[in-house]
Amino acid sequence: MGRALTVINALGLMLVVFSISYVLPVLTSLIYHDDTLTDFLLAMLWTAGTGVLLWISTRRYRGELSIRHGYLLVVAMWTAMPAVATFPLLLVIDGLSFTDAYFETMSGITTTGATVLTGLDHLPPAINLWRHELNWLGGMGIIVLAVAVLPLLGIGGRQLFKAETPGPMKDSALTPRITETARNLWLVYAGITLACILSLKLAGMNWLDAVCHAFAAMGLGGFSTHDASVGYFDSPAIEFVLIVFMLLAAMNFATHFLAWRGRSLRIYLHDAEAVATVSLILGSCLGIALFLWWQGVYPGFWTALRHASFNLVSMATDCGFASADFNQWPIFAPMWMLFLSCITASSGSTGGGIKMIRTLVLVKQAGREFLLLLHPAAINPMKIGGQVVANNIVFAVLGFIFLYFVSVATLTFALLISGLDFISSFSAVLACINNAGPGLGVVGPAGNFGVLSDFQTWICTAAMLIGRLEIFTILILFTPAFWKR
Amino acid sequence: MGRALTVINALGLMLVVFSISYVLPVLTSLIYHDDTLTDFLLAMLWTAGTGVLLWISTRRYRGELSIRHGYLLVVAMWTAMPAVATFPLLLVIDGLSFTDAYFETMSGITTTGATVLTGLDHLPPAINLWRHELNWLGGMGIIVLAVAVLPLLGIGGRQLFKAETPGPMKDSALTPRITETARNLWLVYAGITLACILSLKLAGMNWLDAVCHAFAAMGLGGFSTHDASVGYFDSPAIEFVLIVFMLLAAMNFATHFLAWRGRSLRIYLHDAEAVATVSLILGSCLGIALFLWWQGVYPGFWTALRHASFNLVSMATDCGFASADFNQWPIFAPMWMLFLSCITASSGSTGGGIKMIRTLVLVKQAGREFLLLLHPAAINPMKIGGQVVANNIVFAVLGFIFLYFVSVATLTFALLISGLDFISSFSAVLACINNAGPGLGVVGPAGNFGVLSDFQTWICTAAMLIGRLEIFTILILFTPAFWKR
Ligand SMILES: [K+]
Ligand SMILES: [K+]
């Protein structure tokens, strides 16, 4: 009981810190005079107040957390922050239910980018900025969580990533290292975001759109200020800029940090994930472009290549921008994009899904099994990027992937029972659990998660959270062993 | 080169033995005077002749086979036997292409039971008997392969099944044991088939239908002599009999043998797979019946239970009979049935898919991972049915399941590229790789694989073979290591 109150104490502090993030929409409201100033100030006050209340009422229980309570805190943070983040949405948008508002903020903070809102073009600028800031903050949060926190908890092969991160991020002493690692990552993330804002402005966006889309691109969130998403701009320059920054955001930010510190691009070649991801995406862009051209979806190869590249990179990196209604393409193309969204993003990036490192472990393990069938006595340790991967880590990775599929199947069946068709159900679950954004069918890029019933909306909300917290973090709370003294 | 000729020598002998199986359709043709006598005698002659030719021309290379050439022989047998089995179909049915004929015989011999033929009710009795005999022979072949041969090759965790089989099947000395094991299994299989024929006759079928459907039920093949499948009879008694024998065929035949030898039903309770399979199927029947009743598909609960039970058991055991067009049921129900077809059948049964033992290993491994997250230093060996499962076997099982999913995804994408819709593609691949039979969409229980293009037909043919030979056996031929000296 005392330990649970320690979790609440830490959560209170987090909420106070989180309330600072309302400064940006408050400034936006001041600049654009969009009549949302008091709403955002109220939301800020309520968030800070809730935090202070939790913090003060449990201050006697301040202290260190066990691993077990580490899980509780992570889950509590990622459910409480979207809850308080709904305040401005509920205050400003008439008739928005809490279910839909919570879906929207969860979608923002998990960097899923699926939306239940329509008429985005006419939302007050501060509201749009707030949605996009959630994308950006969520991206930051997940990088720190993935690079600094989850490896210590030992989630689904995360130890591997820790071992792979050279230099200052390698150490395992908890508190001081988390702080230093987080600061370094934060600097890299903020720096690349700034470059993205400026590039988008140069490519022709206004400042508000540039900031919003840079936030959404770097967090691989994929929210847009327009119902037509990036298709609204119809600009190859903007699409090109976004492709570059989406690819950067889908790589491990620790690699960016090392490349920056060492002033060397060669670092990227030593990142097995980055190499595999970029090769797979480039090959797929070319293949899908040829397919769309062959099928006559676009009259010329170059037009096909432009639309294939932007939408494929967007889905494969789990960003979720759209420049065309790829739900209308021959089904092979969007299915391949959905498949890529499951496996492509790097660990330590802002993308979701299984992650490229786990995909590599899986492929190498299959190769090992073949060799063992032919030479039963062979000793053949797994190596990735020159490093041996221990068997217990392979097990953790395989366990992760199994639970990933179990989660996908269970949530899909839940949507099927509720009466949704198969393609919409399956793609909605994949799009949410991968934190990608648009699915196919009724939740396709031209559609919207607003058509879902409340039950279906909560299933999708759960899928986003399960995916973002690497599955184990959530599901472990439902095991009897977790609650055993 | 010499070794490859040894494989061909053994294959020749197999074909000579296989030609004996034409005796049954020849007898049928004599009884029913259906004008196919010369066709079957010709087919028998050609098959035996081909076999003798292969055998004699390579007789200098007779000898023992290495593990590597064991794979080659297994794959050669399962591709050559359906090829020669097409002879009577091509001779009797006008306008049948080799592609379709090979699909049909492969479907028979892999006990998939998907068909490209329509007008089954008007086929000559001997042709129908031949199709059903392929189901039965394929079932026999796969039991021997699974219980006696594959464990020795070490395919995807098969060692586990060997270790679990007590008594005469436990030993690992190859040749004498295979013979003895095969004879015991053959007796059990033939005995239960005889009981099934008599039960179906008593339940109201004529002799030809009783024999054909008993063959299809015991091999879990699912061919029927009627386009409407078992729905043609509209008889609860027949459906009940078939449910019982499908469940028996979906259990490990080694368990049947032990129960028969020990005169004890208690043996079944010690078979972890049988217990899990029956519990899962019973629970699912009840759940789907309630779902169909709730959705108003059937007016009363008992009607819903009757149709849910027969079609669900048929799909879950990978048999593939149908008594209703379950493709028209609300999508949750057929999707759940398709899901069960992936995991439910026991090892050493005539069913297909992942098999219940591997499902159990997967679930236990996930539990181990959770415990390890909470207690990183815990030592927690996996136990199934009281026996410890070694880590290398867990790896083999996980590797198998990974390749299963890779195969499903690859083949589905191949069908999508060819222009087939997603539900038909996905369900056709699952139905074929699980050797279940009907899928959904255009290949649903009221549809037919005859609508597929040649390319699509070959993809499905490949899926049946890959699934039947436990994936590794086929895919290993495509690894460079296999062909390295
Ligand atoms: K996203
Ligand atoms: K079947």
**Per-residue pLDDT band at A165 (split at 50, 70, 90):** very low
Instruction: Locate the chain B residue with the closest alpha carbon to A483.
Output: B374
d(CA B396, CA B155): 8
pLDDT digits (tens, 9 = 90+) for A312-345: 999 999 999 999 999 899 999 999 999 999 999 9
Q: How far is A165 from chain B (nearest CA, A)?
A: 21
A19 occurs within a structural domain: yes
Cβ pair A476:B370 closer than 8 A: yes
**Chains A, B: CB contacts under 8 A, how many?**
128
The rounded distance, in Å, linking the Cα atoms of A375 and B67 is 9
Phi, psi of A351 (to 5 degrees): -75, 175
Number of CB atoms found within 10 A of residue A94's CB: 6
Quick check: A374 and B417 CB within 8 A? no
Overall number of domains in chain B: 1
Positive or negative: CA dihedral B62, B65, B68, B73: positive
- pLDDT category, B147, cuts 50, 70, 90? low
Q: What is the pLDDT of residue A96?
A: 92
Check CB contact under 8 Å for B476 and A374: yes
Answer whether residue B12 is part of any domain: yes
Q: Which residues lie near ion ligand 1 (Cβ < 5 Å)?
A: A 113, 222, 318, 320, 437
In a domain, B48, yes or no: yes
Q: What is the per-residue pLDDT across A279-313, written as a single tens digit (0 to 9) for each?
A: 999 999 999 999 999 999 999 999 999 999 999 99
Question: How close is the nearest chain B Cα to the Cα of A206, in Å?
Answer: 41
pLDDT at position A388 is 80
Whether residues B362 and A421 touch (CB distance < 8 A) is answered with: no
In a domain? residue B34? yes
Q: How far is the CA of B435 from the centre of ligand 2 (A)?
A: 5
CA distance A135 to A193: 12
CB distance B399–A153 less than 8 Å? Answer: no
Contact B365 A395 (CB under 8 A): yes
Q: Do B332 and A417 lie within an 8 Å CB cutoff?
A: yes
Long-range contacts of B413-419 (CB under 8 A, 24+ apart): B413/A332, B413/A335, B413/A336, B413/A339, B414/B459, B415/B456, B415/B459, B416/A330, B416/A331, B416/A332, B416/A335, B417/A291, B417/A332, B418/B453, B418/B455, B418/B456, B418/B459, B419/A330
Distance of CA A445 to the CA centre of its chain: 18
Q: Domain range holding B51? A: 1-68
- Whole-number Å distance between alpha carbons of A68 and A3: 10
Helix (H), strand (E) counts: chain A: 22, 2
Confidence of residue B414 (pLDDT cuts 50, 70, 90): very high
Residues of A in contact with B374 (CB under 8 A): 67-68, 476, 479, 481-482
- Gap from CA of B341 to ligand 2 centroid (Å): 10
Q: How large a percentage of chain A has pLDDT more than 70?
A: 92
Residue B177 lies inside a defined structural domain of this protein: no
Which range (A5-19, A306-320, B338-352, B366-380) has the least confidence?
Answer: B366-380
Residues of A whose CB is below 8 A from B402: 362, 365-366, 398, 401
Q: Considering the domain boundaries, does residue A5 fall inside one? A: yes
Q: Which of A9-18, A64-73, A182-191, B267-276 has the lowest mean pLDDT?
A: A64-73
Closest-approach residue (CA) in chain A for B66: A374
Q: Using 50, 70 and 90 to split pLDDT, how confident is the model at A180?
A: confident
Give the residue-averaged pLDDT of A418-428. 93
**Residue range B450-467, pLDDT digits in tens:** 899 999 999 999 999 999
From chain A, the residues in CB contact with B371 under 8 A are: 481
Q: How far is A43 from chain B (nearest CA, A)?
A: 37
In a domain, A167, yes or no: no
CA angle, A463 as apex, A216 and A157 as ends, to 5°?
Answer: 85
Q: Which among B367, B422, B475 is the nearest to A331, CB-wise?
A: B422
| Nearest ligand to the CA atom of B224 | 2
Please give the Cα distance from A86 to A100 (Å, whole number): 9
- The per-residue pLDDT for range A62-114, each reduced to its tens digit, is 777 777 787 888 888 899 999 999 999 999 998 899 999 999 999 999 999 89
Q: Which ipTM score applies to this complex?
A: 0.83
In the predicted model, is pLDDT for residue B448 greater than 70? yes
User: Looking at residue A366, what is its pLDDT?
Assistant: 82
- Ligand 2 midpoint to CA A212 (Å): 54
A78 occurs within a structural domain: yes
What is the C-alpha to C-alpha distance for residues A472 and A67, in angstroms, rounded to an integer? 13
Structure tokens at B225: 């002599």
Strand partners, B382: B389
The pLDDT, as a whole number, for residue B167 is 36
